Amino acid sequence: MDVGACEKAELAAYQLKGVAQIWFDQWKGEKGNGYVVLWEEFKLAFLNRFFPLVRTRKVKFRFPNEPVLEWESRDVVVKGKFISCIKAHRLISKGCLYHIVRVNDVESKVPHIESIPVVNEFLDVFPEDLPCVPPEREIDLGIDLLPDTQPISIPPYRMAPAELKELKEQLKDLLGKGFIRPSHSSWGAPVFFVKKKDGSLRMCIDHRQLNRVSVKNRYPLPRIDDLFDQLHGASHFSKIDLRSGYHQVKVRECDILKTAFRTRYGHYEFVVMSFGLTNAPALFMDLMNSVFKPYLDYFVVVFIDDILIYSRGEEEHKGHLRVVLQRLREEKLYAKYEKCKFWLKEVPFLGHVVSGDGIKVDPKKTDVIRNWARPLTLSDIRSFLGLAGYYRRFVEGFSSLASPMTKLTQKKAKFVWSDECEESFQTLKERLVSAPILSLSDELEGFMFIAMLPHWFGLCVDAKW
């Protein structure tokens, strides 16, 4: 049947639930009894009242025998109305209907891998999930202990019901993949969850006690400025992010028992490297340097599980990209396609944006700096200086500008936030937010790099990157 303008409005209104239904009843009531709502009128009123609040979103309505109708926002900014879960439950218990609308972020759509030149020749490098336990490699994780160390076992932490449900699912998944196995070890660490950027939960093992008695791997992580030095003249970039990189490295058989962890659902141990082990970053860096050793500083830079490929031209980039993907295939190392970026003229990398013009602060980080509240504690100051210090190359005279706040972090210094500290804080924020693009030079003369704060990696963590 054909759906007319009146019927279409009625069918659309029928699909409204909860607050939207209440709005429609009130809006139609204001028109008076017997008023016939036409489709275009309904559409205009609905868009003005309930259109998604953020840029580039879609909303759908379905009608019999007709295609799904979609609307896409275009820089529409409307103040939204939100209700709490308790109020929503109360409305539903009173008989109000509710409707779950799926909102699609159009801008985040990832192009099909088959359409990416060169990459489409290596589909096996980008699986949906890790296919199996990693093979034996020249570099596996060993956990050497300080002399006279005894096994350490800690009871499981308490968890919320939702976390327990997630724990059960993740244990099942890890067991199915062979990444963990039941354990009878005398060792045992508790488990906790951290929220990832996409809202999902990552299971982490609290290995702090094990880390305290482990012999530290002193393999050096590269300096960020040294990595960026290599990019001079490059104009084509691709970035590859490995899929669950740590799970692609095995634990030395004799050390597996030390990775044991306790949960409400049993005692298990890791066959592969897990998050939280003190030597994991250094060992993974060692592995990646070994895999890409012939190409480092020629067209590849690596930082733990992030691989940046850079080239001067398109044809050159094809060859470089093919070489890197072939090495990943040979080493049975797998990447997460959704987090990779290919054939770019500028690319975000390690908190910076790299292009043929040079490097600049990642705009996402400048937003964090711009909105940073005045420090109220010593920890707040250290966090801010940690983040600001990471970008000190963009601020001439950084040490002098930061000096009033740095003095507050010294031993026995009283925490007194003076006018001088406030001026230092605001000036640094202003300089970082308006930082220029730094040209990458291949000449050492006249191009000065200032050493970063000591223990920069720990400072990045403190800054909640």
Question: For 32-46, how does the pLDDT look when each residue is reduced to its tens digit (9 = 90+)?
Answer: 655 666 666 776 666
pLDDT score for 109: 65
| Across 63-90, average pLDDT | 58
pLDDT score, position 106:
47
What percent of the chain shows pLDDT beyond 90? Answer: 31
Query: What DSSP string describes 380-410?
Result: HHHHHHHHHHHTGGGSTTHHHHHHHHHHHTS
pLDDT digits (tens, 9 = 90+) for 40-71: 677 666 666 655 444 445 556 555 555 666 65
Annotate 51-72 with DSSP letters as a single string. --SSSSEEEEE--TTSPPEEEE
Confidence (pLDDT) at 430: 87
DSSP 310: E
- pLDDT for the residue numbered 222: 79
CA distances to 57, 168, 199, 396 from 195, in Å: 24, 17, 6, 37
pLDDT band of 1, cuts 50, 70, 90: very low
Per-residue pLDDT tens for 414-440?
888 989 989 999 998 888 888 776 665
Chain centroid, CA 128 distance in Å: 18
Count how many residues are written for the chain: 465
pLDDT (mean) for 88-94: 76
Name the band, by pLDDT with cuts 50, 70 and 90, for residue 376: confident
Given a cut of 50, whether residue 463 has pLDDT beyond it is: no
Residue type, 157: Y
pLDDT tens digits, one per residue of 7-28: 666 767 766 765 566 667 766 6
Give yes or no for residue 314 having a pLDDT over 70: yes
What are the helix (H) ranges across 236-311?
Answer: 280-291
Instruction: Return the pLDDT at 465.
Output: 32
According to the model, what pLDDT value does residue 225 have? 75
Q: Say whether 205 sits in a helix, a strand or coil.
A: strand
Tell me: pLDDT of 78 over 90: no
DSSP annotation of 392 reads: G
Strand pairing class (236-241; 201-205): unpaired
pLDDT tens per residue, range 152-189:
999 999 998 888 999 999 999 999 999 999 999 999 99
Average of per-residue pLDDT values in the chain? 79
Q: Is the pLDDT of residue 326 over 90?
A: yes
3-class secondary structure, 385: helix
Q: Which run of H or of E encompasses 332?
A: none
Which range, of 329-343, 357-371, 373-387, averages the lowest pLDDT?
A: 357-371
How does residue 218 score in pLDDT terms, banded at 50, 70 and 90? confident
DSSP strand E in 289-345: where? Answer: 300-303, 306-311, 341-344
DSSP 242: B
pLDDT at 75: 46
What's the whole-number mean pLDDT along residues 270-286?
89
Q: Is the pTM of this model over 0.75?
A: no
SS3 86: helix
Asked if residue 400 has pLDDT above 50, the reply is yes
